[in-house]
Structure 1
Amino acid sequence: MKNTSKILILLLIFSMILSLAACQKKEASDDEGEIQEEIANEGENADLEGTTLNIVATSESYKEFFDKFTDETGIKVEFISMSSGELLSRVKAEEGKPMADIWFGGGLDAFMEAKEEGLLESYISKESEDIPAEFKDPEGYWIGKGLTIVGLLVNKDILEENNLPMPTSWKDLTNPVYKDEIIMSNPAISGTNYAAVNGLLQMMGEEEGWKFFEELDKNIPYYAKRGKDPQLKTMEGEFAIGIIPADKSAFDLQEEQNVEVVFPEDGIPWVPEGVAIFKNSQNLEGAKAFIDFMLSKENQQILAQIDGKDGAQMVKPGVEGYDLGVPEKRFIKQDLSSFGKDREPILERWSELVGDK
């Protein structure tokens, strides 16, 4: 009996030694795996160092952000600024030979259409896991980086000179007293103004919405061909009211000029800003590295501080942007899928409505 007990004790001790050894081996294996992963990542960056990444962005304000990417990866960034509608037309015309690797910023409608046209490359970054489903393509063809909020910029000097009332709602803009005093960009070119058109149609309904735009058109002498023109021309006093992306740059003007940013009481249109990799990218691995870089929490926070357009509200949880005082309860309840599928019919009807203005 005693011998049996001794044998059992010895077996137990032996089993414990084997378990301990196995745990130590697993820990060593895990550590080795992490080290090898770090080495592999460093190797990837080393392979990409000295290459060039071409980016088309909606603004030149991203240069500091792109420089940070270069500092961290050694990948040089060349970029140009272009509106989303203009870029989409250019990419279609390229017929499989894109002018850049990364498409950075612009209304989601253009990205949705580009996906349908087969112009984008699929890539699902590990950094995108916590971004809500409504702000990313399930197949990885585009991802949102922030929201563009649509509002009004009002030149108070012009209002005073012409004895005009301060507008507080979208329907106010149909008042005949504002004839030739309102400017907005062509929604076929500007993602922001397409967001305004789509969002207001969803808020008002098709019939009432198109009646509104018919009346609004009477007060608009022409439609700008650049997304930033409404802000610039309102600031310069050419117009009393501009329909704009209500970003930090617009709020900064309030301290420098006699202008005011107005969020209409009857609803605020909004749209996610997209980012995507072009199909047939010349630097595909560099483009993937940029997406990973952009979506990290640290860099999302930096991006929020660099570009006020993204600062109103970021899409990555835990990232704080600029507090622009946006009354989020006024955000229009929008079906984002309509931004892509309804783009062509909306723009066709818009063209019929306004003609060659």
Structure 2
Amino acid sequence: MKKHWMLAGGLVGLLALGACSQGDESGGTLTVYVGFQEDHAVAAIDKFTEETGIDVNMVRMSAGEILAKIRAEKNNPQADIWYGGPADTFVAAQKEGLLHAYQSPEADVIPDEYKDSEGYWSGVYVGVIGFATNQNFLDDNGLEAPTSWDDLLDPAYQNELVMAHPSSSGTAYTALYSILESKGGDDPGFDYLEQLHPQIQQYTTSGSAPGRMVGLNEAGAGILFAHDIIKYQEEGFEDIVLSFPEEGTGFEIGSSAIIEGSKNEELAEQFIDWSVSPSAQEVGQTTSNYQNLTHPDAEEPEEAVKLDELTLVDSDPLEAGDRRQDIIDRFERDIIN
């Protein structure tokens, strides 16, 4: 069976946003690396500039790509803010001295489980891993939408399953960590991944790409965040079915942080203050992005999943971040190679 890997060369968009080159009255322009989908990213940065008057240069990438870029720029940082992507990638960056601690007073109301105790990152949304399945594929194979990780081992899914690669995608690492947790540890988790690998048609760079592929009938099923699946459904991909593994699924705490070495620390602090606010978190409602939110006063989209109706694995972003590179290295060695 022929396999395809898409591990590099993801599209990076550089957008200069703001009305003037000199920024706000305090001077300077923020450079922000954003891990949201592009429409959400543009709307959020526009909203920030509108509400604060601060100009922003935005670069949109996946979380894994952002982490790699910040690492590469450690000795000469080119950005001020990292905005969006799973907290475990922020924890990995924090361990390497790539983030700057800031205790935002606006983050005081964010529940402790959704932020770093020392202020290295603050959670702004929650995303849950789900299954996207094509209804035509299900009908053709006499299947119901999967409700267990083991359902994906059915022979019908061979070369029909799509997920991103965890080295480039925070979504994929969250899914990988979810599998290890739901299976009871690394060894049984990797035994499962060895069985799952022949089912994989393609490992994409982007974490949300599998949902579009399912919607376009290019794949039978995909593993990605539920809010991205809902977004594709709302955009008109009516054949996509959303379901969850009943034995447990993982979740991300999408975060924001100041990059160590920022040349605009005061402005960067203003961005963090804004990013945790209800105004910032509710931007997704205007761009059809359906994350669950961390601020108790922020109004979640009606379409967002109900977390209390799902079985969530006992996911610790600190442990997930500490172990991130070791787990990815084993995935490369034992599964890909």
User: What band does the TM-score fall into relative to the shorter chain?
Assistant: 0.7 to 0.9
**Match for 2:196 among 195, 216, 236?**
216
8 A Cα contact 1:65 1:306, kept in partner: no
Name the aligned partner's letter for residue 170 of structure 2. Answer: G
Q: Which one of 111, 114, 125 corresponds to residue 90 of structure 2?
A: 111
Q: Decide whether the 8 Å contact of 1:249 with 1:308 is kept in 2.
A: no
Q: Partner of 1:99: helix, strand, or coil?
A: coil
Secondary structure (helix, strand or coil) at the match of 2:245 reads coil
Give the 3-state SS of the residue equivalent to 2:293 in structure 1: coil
Q: Name 2:115's counterpart in structure 1.
A: 136
Aligned mates of 2:212, 2:98 — CA distance in 1:
32
Give 1:255-270 correspondences, 5 Å limit: 255-270=236-251
The 2-side partners of 1:242 and 1:342 are apart by 25
- SS for the counterpart of 2:204 is coil
Supply the RMSD in Å over aligned alpha carbons: 2.1
Residue 55 of structure 1: how far off its partner (Å): 1.0
CA displacement at 1:180 relative to structure 2: 0.3
Q: Which residue of structure 2 aligns with residue 91 of structure 1?
A: 70
CA contact under 8 A between 1:148 and 1:246: conserved in structure 2?
yes
Pairwise mapping of residues 183-222 of structure 1 onto structure 2 (< 5 A)? Answer: 183-206=162-185, 207-222=187-202
Aligned partner of 1:289 in structure 2 is 270
SS of residue paired to 2:217? coil
1:130 shift after superposition: 1.3
Contact 1:62/1:306 (<8 A) preserved: no
Written as runs of structure 1 = structure 2, the 5 A alignment for 1:98-177 is 98-177=77-156
Deviation of 1:251 (Å): 4.6
Query: How far, CA to CA, are the matches of 1:210 and 1:116 in structure 2?
Result: 25
Give 1:171 deviation, angstroms. 1.1
Cα distance, 1:65 vs. partner?
A: 2.2
Gap change, CA 1:308 and 1:314, over 3 Å in 2: farther
Check conservation: 2:132, 2:229, Cα contact below 8 A. Answer: no
- CA shift, 1:68, in A, is 2.1
Deviation at 1:235, TM superposition (A): 1.3
Alignment identity in percent?
A: 33
Distance in 1 between residues matched to 2:145 and 2:29, nearest whole Å: 49
2: CA distance between counterparts of 1:341 and 1:279?
A: 19
| 1:38-53 pair list within 5 angstroms | 47-48=25-26, 51-53=28-30
Q: Following TM superposition, by how much is the alpha carbon of 1:240 offset from its aligned partner in structure 2, in angstroms?
A: 0.4
Whole-angstrom CA distance in 2 between matches of 1:335 and 1:215: 26
Deviation, 1:159, is 2.6
What's the TM-score, normalizing by structure 1?
Answer: 0.80
Partner of 1:253 in structure 2? 233
Write the letter of the residue equivalent to 1:333. D
Could you tell me which runs of 5 or more consecutive residues in structure 1 were left unpaired when the two chains were aligned: 1-44
Q: Which amino acid aligns with 2:306?
A: V
- Of Structure 1 and Structure 2, the greater strand share is in 2
Partner letter of residue 138 of structure 1?
A: S
1:341 aligns with 2:322: yes
Q: Please give the secondary structure, in 2, of the residue aligned with 1:337.
A: helix
Change (3 A) 1:99 1:163: farther
Q: 1: CA distance between counterparts of 2:154 and 2:259?
A: 44
Query: Which contiguous aligned blocks of 4+ residues in structure 1 show a shift greater than 6 angstroms?
Result: none
Question: Which structure 2 residue ranges, 5 or more long, are not aligned?
Answer: 1-22
Amino acid across the alignment from 2:31:
N
Q: Does 1:321 align with 2:300?
A: yes
Paired letter, 1:47: E
Cα shift readout 1:52-107 (whole Å, capped 9, x = no counterpart)? 21111122222222222212222112212101111111211123222321101011
One-letter identity of the residue aligned with 1:166: A
TM-score of the superposed pair, with normalisation by structure 2: 0.85
